[in-house]
Structure 1
Amino acid sequence: MNFEERALALQCNDSWMYGILSLPERTASRGVLIVVGGPQYRVGSHRQFTLLARHLASLGIPVLRFDYRGMGDSEGASRTFEDLEDDLHCAIEHFFEEVPALSNLVIWGLCDAASAALFHAHRDRRITGLVLLNPWVRTDQGAAKAYLKHYYLARILDPEFWGKVWSGRFNYANATQSLVKTIEKALPGRKITATRDKAGDRSCDFASLPERMLDALSRYKGKILLITSGDDLTAQEFLELVKSSREWQRRLAAPSVSRLNLPEANHTFSRRVWRDEVAVGTSDWIQSW
Structure 2
Amino acid sequence: MRLMIPFQCGDDQLAGTLDTGDAETGIFVVSGGNEIRAGAFGGQAAMAAHFATLGYPVFRFDRRGIGESEGVNAGFENSADDIAAALIAFRNAAPHVKRIIAFGNCDAASALALYHHSLPIDALILANPWVIETAAGDPEQPAVPNADAIRARYWARLKNPRSLIDLLTGKIDLRKLAGGLASAARKQPASGLAVRLANALARSEIPTSLLIARHDTTAMAFMGAWHSDAFKGVQTRQSVKLEQFDTASHSFADAASRRWLFGQIESRCQIMSLQPTR
TM-score of the two chains, using structure 1 as the length reference: 0.83
Aligned to 2:171: 169
> Which letter maps to 1:7?
M
Aligned to 1:145: 147
SS of residue in 1 equivalent to 2:20:
strand
What is the CA-CA distance between 1:165 and the residue it aligns to? 2.8
Classify 1:114/1:7 alpha carbon distance in 2 versus 1 (closer, same or farther; 3 Å). same
Asked if the contact 1:114/1:136 (under 8 Å) is kept, the reply is yes
Aligned to 1:239: 223
Unpaired runs of 5+ residues, structure 1, are 193-207
Asked if the contact 1:142/1:237 (under 8 Å) is kept, the reply is no
Give me the whole-angstrom Cα distance separating, in 2, the residues matched to 1:230 and 1:133.
11
Report matched runs for 1:1-289 at 5 Å: 4-24=1-21, 27-124=22-119, 126-139=120-133, 144-176=146-178, 178-179=180-181, 182-183=183-184, 186-187=186-187, 208-245=192-229, 248-289=231-272
Question: Identity percentage over the alignment?
Answer: 28
Give me the whole-angstrom Cα distance separating, in 2, the residues matched to 1:258 and 1:142.
29
1:78-111 deviation line (CA, Å, top 9, x unaligned): 2211010110011011111111112231110001
What is the CA-CA distance between 1:174 and the residue it aligns to? 4.7
> Which letter maps to 2:214?
G
SS of residue in 2 equivalent to 1:281:
helix
Classify 1:188/1:134 alpha carbon distance in 2 versus 1 (closer, same or farther; 3 Å). closer
Give me the whole-angstrom Cα distance separating, in 1, the residues matched to 2:40 and 2:255.
12
> Which letter maps to 2:149?
Y
Unpaired runs of 5+ residues, structure 2, are 134-141, 273-278
Asked if the contact 2:132/2:146 (under 8 Å) is kept, the reply is no
What is the CA-CA distance between 1:162 and the residue it aligns to? 3.0
Give me the whole-angstrom Cα distance separating, in 2, the residues matched to 1:158 and 1:141.
29
Asked if the contact 1:141/1:188 (under 8 Å) is kept, the reply is no
Asked if the contact 1:111/1:133 (under 8 Å) is kept, the reply is yes
1:30-78 deviation line (CA, Å, top 9, x unaligned): 2111000013221122322112111211122111111111122222212
Give me the whole-angstrom Cα distance separating, in 2, the residues matched to 1:171 and 1:78.
42
> Which letter maps to 1:55?
H
Classify 1:237/1:188 alpha carbon distance in 2 versus 1 (closer, same or farther; 3 Å). closer
What is the CA-CA distance between 1:153 and the residue it aligns to? 0.9
Give me the whole-angstrom Cα distance separating, in 1, the residues matched to 2:177 and 2:243.
35
Q: Number of aligned residue pairs: give it.
A: 264
Asked if the contact 2:125/2:209 (under 8 Å) is kept, the reply is yes
Classify 1:179/1:141 alpha carbon distance in 2 versus 1 (closer, same or farther; 3 Å). farther
What is the CA-CA distance between 1:258 and the residue it aligns to? 2.8
SS of residue in 1 equivalent to 2:26:
strand
TM-score of the two chains, using structure 2 as the length reference: 0.86
SS of residue in 1 equivalent to 2:123:
strand
> Which letter maps to 1:133?
A
